Structure 1
Amino acid sequence: MSAKNSQQKREKEKQVIDQMIAIYCRKNHRHLHKENGLCSACEELRRYARMRVDRCPFMETKSFCSQCKVHCYQPKMQEEIRKVMRFSGPRMLLYHPGMAIWHMISTLKG
């Protein structure tokens, strides 16, 4: 995989994470929203997840973090992102069907 393709993959993965966190926050933390649409806890999780994607040394060979043999998330953040993904994953088909289908295909290829 070329550096350009690897960077595109990183950006796509960050877009998926952003959307999943946005869905989760909008549905579970309505009363905590800030101007940018996320509560402070979800914004912290979003920044953390994006940083982990940026630093991932396995981006060229892995599909998604959930499929990776090395879990680089801190335990607290790992549990938080799992909650978000369990909640938002099925809802992605309703809110972002193209992104959800891309994610499923990428995961199966993995």
Structure 2
Amino acid sequence: MSAKTKRSKEKAVIEQMIALYCRKNHKQAMCEDCQRLLEYACQRIDCCPFMETKSFCSNCKVHCYQSEMREKIRKVMRFSGPRMLFHKPWLVVSHIYHSRKERNL
């Protein structure tokens, strides 16, 4: 899979997770804070030098998020991760498969 394809898939997943978090916690499609978090995450994904060799940011040895944004994205992922199984099950299955595959390499 090309880095460009991986970037677009990772952006789609993070957008889904942030949107789910915002809908459930802020009762909006996408509030200003969540939109800024999404833009920041997409910027980090675009600048990632390891995209060819990694599957997801959670599997990366280098964490490029600022500490405040890293805490926000963790909060979103902790909330949205389990709920994604009910909203976008194919994304969860794909994520688990690719994460485990990478760890076993």
TM-score (structure 2 length as normaliser): 0.93
How many angstroms does 1:27 deviate by?
Answer: 0.5
Runs of 5+ unmatched residues, structure 1: none
Distance in 2 between residues matched to 1:13 and 1:106, nearest whole Å = 12
1:11-30 alignment, distance < 5 Å: 11-30=8-27
Deviation string 1:40-72 (CA, Å, 9 cap, x unpaired) is: 000000000011001100001112111111110
Q: Which residue of 1 aligns with 2:54?
A: 62
Measured in 1, the distance between the counterparts of 2:15 and 2:73 equals 11
Distance, in Å, in 2 between the alignment partners of 1:109 and 1:51 is 26
Superposition TM-score, scaled by structure 1 size: 0.89
2:13 partner letter: V
Q: How many pairs align?
A: 102
Distance (whole Å) between structure 2 residues aligned to residue 97 and residue 27 of structure 1 = 18
Whole-Å separation in 1 of the counterparts to 2:67 and 2:23: 24
Query: Would you identify which runs of 4 or more consecutive aligned residues in structure 1 move more than 4 Å?
Result: none
Q: Percent identity?
A: 60
